[in-house]
Structure 1
Amino acid sequence: MKWPAKRSVSGPARWDPFEEIRRTQERLNQLFEDFMPMEEWGGGKVYTPAIDIMEEDDKLVVTTDLPGINKEDVEINLKEDMLEISAKTGEEKETEEEGYLRKERAYTQFYRAVRLPVGVKEEGSTAKMENGVLTISLPKAQIEEPKKKIEIE
């Protein structure tokens, strides 16, 4: 059976509600990706949380949201002028139904590395976790410049 050829209809295009839903879904997906980007990996998702860095007189205060993460599962590393925050959480469910045994695992990982705007020192640094918000306080490094002697000609 041969279908009739499509006719070109001049005038305004017809509104397609399904196309509108598809475009709205794409915009929502992009908003979620911008807010908390993630990528799939072998057993779960990797989230890149937003980080706030505030400069106070003698320290930097870094905050980030890590919802559902226990403080024991968070690792913070300081390498020169890079701050690295990573956390992993997971759960396993085992169900047995009429001869079937099913075991499912879901893991979520958070990872973020940022270059700090000023030098900091590890000594005196603190971190605390409250209600899913990680706050890190990093004392600024005092850089002492050696005195330079100027010779008189």
Structure 2
Amino acid sequence: MKFGLTPWSPSTASRWDPFDEMRQIQERLNRLFGESESSSEMMDIDTLSPLVDIKEEDNNIIVTTDLPGVSKEDVDIDIKNDRVWIKANTHKESKEEKEGYLMRERTYSRFARAFNLPSAVKEDAASAKLEDGVLTITMPKAEIEEKHRIMIE
């Protein structure tokens, strides 16, 4: 071999995994926006991170996210320190018999998302409903105490 070249073979070549690349980008963005807890504690390769709409109204913050195929018993919502964690699992199994063969399919999906809220909320007064695969969480805003100015003597 000339010029310091090394032989190439398919066994020495590393494959580019676009999903791994996207996962690394998501982890960087999570760190940038302070959401590293969600990626390290709840997320893994098979976990879906649903998109979230956050709407701030006069007295409420309303969070909406899609959780297709999930029943309300399988959803876990936690609110603490103006941060929301949504976790959900779904499991389906189908069985079909036709002309001498049996086909079984099983699917398992996991959803997880954590994010900060734009303002303080009353955690104990929050409510949620799951209708047609759409989760809606309504959280009343907490009253912010007015700042008192202190005069310097």
TMscore range, shorter length: 0.5 to 0.7
Counterpart of 1:74 in structure 2: which amino acid? V
Does residue 61 in structure 1 map to residue 62 in structure 2? yes
What is the distance in 1 between the residues matched to 2:147 and 2:75?
39
Stretches of structure 2 that go unaligned for 5 or more consecutive residues are: 1-17, 23-42, 97-102
Contact in 1 for aligned 2:121/2:139 (Cα 8 Å): yes
Distance 1:40 1:58, change over 3 A: closer
Q: Deviations over 1:12-37 (max 9, x none)?
A: xxxxxxxxxxxxxx9xxx9xxxxxxx
Give TM-score scaled by structure 1 length.
0.60
Give the whole-Å Cα distance in 2 for the aligned partners of 1:40 and 1:146: 43
Aligned-pair CA distance for 1:151: 5.6
User: Deviation digits for residues 42-95 of structure 1, max 9, x if unmatched?
Assistant: xxx311110000000011000000000000000000120211101001135689
Q: What SS class does the counterpart of residue 89 from structure 1 fall into?
A: strand
- The 5 Å alignment of 1:1-150 reads 41=45, 45-92=46-93, 105-145=106-146, 147-150=148-151
Aligned-residue CA RMSD (Å)? 3.0
Q: CA 1:124–1:40 in 2, change beyond 3 Å: closer, same or farther?
A: closer
Structure with the greater alpha carbon radius of gyration: 1
Rounded to whole Å, the distance in 2 between the matches of 1:91 and 1:131 is 17
Identity %: 46
Structure 2 counterpart of 1:110, one-letter code = F
Question: Normalising to structure 2: TM-score of the pair?
Answer: 0.60
Structure 2 CA distance, aligned partners of 1:123 and 1:130?
A: 22
- Between 52-61 and 103-112, the greater mean CA deviation after superposition: 103-112
Counterparts of 2:125 and 2:44, CA distance in 1: 36
1:125 positional shift: 0.8
* 5+ long unaligned stretches in structure 1: 1-25, 31-38, 96-101
Shift of 1:144: 1.2
Contact 2:80 2:123 in 1 (8 A): no
Task: Kindly tell me the number of residue pairs found equivalent between the two proteins.
Answer: 109
Structure 1 ranges of 4+ moved more than 4 A:
92-95, 102-105
